[in-house]
Amino acid sequence: MTTYLITGATGTLGHLATQALRALEPTADITVLARPGADTDRLRESGAAVRRGDYDDPPSLRAACAGIERALLVSSPVLDPTVRARQHLAFLDAAAAAGVAHLTYTSALGAEHDPGHHRTEQALAQGSTSHTILRNGLYTEPFVERAWQEALTTGVVRSATQGHALRTASVHDLARAAAHTLATPLPGATLELNGPEWTYDDLADAITTRLGRPVRHESVDDAQLGPFGAVHALFRAGLLAQSPADLTRLIGQAPRTAAEVLAVVAG
Ligand SMILES: NC(=O)c1ccc[n+]([C@@H]2O[C@H](COP(=O)([O-])OP(=O)(O)OC[C@H]3O[C@@H](n4cnc5c(N)ncnc54)[C@H](OP(=O)(O)O)[C@@H]3O)[C@@H](O)[C@H]2O)c1
């Protein structure tokens, strides 16, 4: 039986990928990497074994990779690219030393402009471990969750997109895609995973329908949106506009729309 290791499994993507792999392969031998002290009760309940380790502790990564055939490296949330690349490379070294046969890495759209992801992708290309790179789009959920909360409290959804469309992907679909590349490895593939296009006008309409009262979209400046402003500027510039083709192929169906994500967020 194939042995799997999934990192970041106490977080959103890794946990959903663990569930998705379990759904694809109900009897699979799945182990997850969790940091010492992290709560792993719900992972154990789903039948995953837990090994403790930390991206900053190479010996713990070597122990975690022992006997593993296929691994999912979920990128570190650390923003400092030097630290992040060091953490990822420590995992790649551990996987190679343990003879992991195939590794999937969750990178990001635009990785060539992101030193942490870029360095990791380069290391994968130069190394000997068979691998798949998943360049994930931005998650749809935080955009929709923020708009939903704004609409509930003010009746207005604000954006700085100035009418430009966004392309984002549901983290549920991205997790399913990652699970598919573990169950059926795609050696050497770099896939750009994005979801369908949507606009804030569409989202305000969908929220209006769901709430049964009018919600309007208001255009504001980047500065009024805090950290989201810089992200909206990317979409205004036409970036992160990759098509959903790779994600659709991997999960075997159309990725979730923003309205479908709203249905989940709004319960
Ligand atoms: N595409 C997007 O929109 C988007 C958004 C946010 C993040 N990301 C990237 O995608 C990754 C997965 O997203 P997510 O939403 O699942 O993030 P998340 O919920 O923050 O999960 C991050 C996971 O990484 C683990 N981790 C952090 N530092 C670690 C370390 N030193 N050693 C081992 N494990 C460590 C965390 O463990 P603990 O539970 O112990 O903290 C957690 O399980 C993020 O880490 C980030 O690189 C992408």
108 C-alpha to center of ligand 1: Å?
13
Cβ of 55 closer than 6 Å to ligand 1, yes or no, is yes
Instruction: Give dist(CA 85, CA 69) in Å, integer.
Output: 23
Cβ of 194 closer than 6 Å to ligand 1, yes or no, is no
Predicted confidence at residue 137, as pLDDT, reads 98
Predicted confidence at residue 30, as pLDDT, reads 98
Tokens 């979730």 map to which residue? 256
Looking at the CA of residue 108, tell me the nearest atom of ligand 1: 1
Cβ of 14 closer than 6 Å to ligand 1, yes or no, is yes
E-strand spans in the chain?
Answer: 3-6, 29-34, 49-52, 70-74, 102-108, 130-136, 156-159, 166-167, 190-193, 197-198, 216-219
CATH classification (class only), 140-168+195-240+253-265: alpha beta
Q: Which of 69, 74, 47, 55 is nearest to 136 (CA)?
A: 74
Ligand 1, atom 20, lies closest to the CA of 11
Ligand 1, atom 28, lies closest to the CA of 76
Q: From first to last of the 267 residues of the chain, give the pLDDT tens digit.
A: 899 999 999 999 999 999 999 999 999 999 999 999 999 999 998 899 999 999 999 999 999 999 999 999 999 999 999 999 999 999 999 999 999 999 999 999 999 999 999 999 999 999 999 999 999 999 999 999 999 999 999 999 999 999 999 999 999 999 999 999 999 999 999 999 999 999 999 999 999 999 999 999 999 999 999 999 999 999 999 999 999 999 999 999 999 999 999 999 999
231 C-alpha to center of ligand 1: Å?
19
Instruction: Give dist(CA 108, CA 193) in Å, integer.
Output: 9
Q: Which two tokens stand for residue 261?
A: 């994500």
Cβ of 240 closer than 6 Å to ligand 1, yes or no, is no
Q: Which of 67, 61, 72, 65 is nearest to 22 (CA)?
A: 72
Cβ of 4 closer than 6 Å to ligand 1, yes or no, is no
**Would you state the CATH architecture of domain 3-136?**
3-Layer(aba) Sandwich (3.40)
Ligand 1, atom 2, lies closest to the CA of 138
Distances (CA, A) of 263 to 131, 186, 204, 211, 214: 35, 32, 13, 11, 17
Contact 169, 134 (CB under 8 A): no
The pTM (predicted TM-score) of the whole model is: 0.98
Looking at the CA of residue 38, tell me the nearest atom of ligand 1: 40
Domain coordinates of the chain in residue numbers? Answer: 3-136, 140-168+195-240+253-265
7 C-alpha to center of ligand 1: Å?
9
Q: Which two tokens stand for residue 112?
A: 């060539």
Distances (CA, A) of 33 to 13, 63, 72, 201, 264: 13, 10, 10, 41, 28
Ligand 1, residues 12, 191, 193: which to mutate, most atoms within 8 A of Cβ?
12
> SS3 sequence, 191-258?
EEECCCEECHHHHHHHHHHHHCCCCEEEECCHHHHCHHHHHHHHHHCCCCCCCCHHHHHHHCCCCCCH
Cβ of 222 closer than 6 Å to ligand 1, yes or no, is no
Ligand 1, atom 45, lies closest to the CA of 77
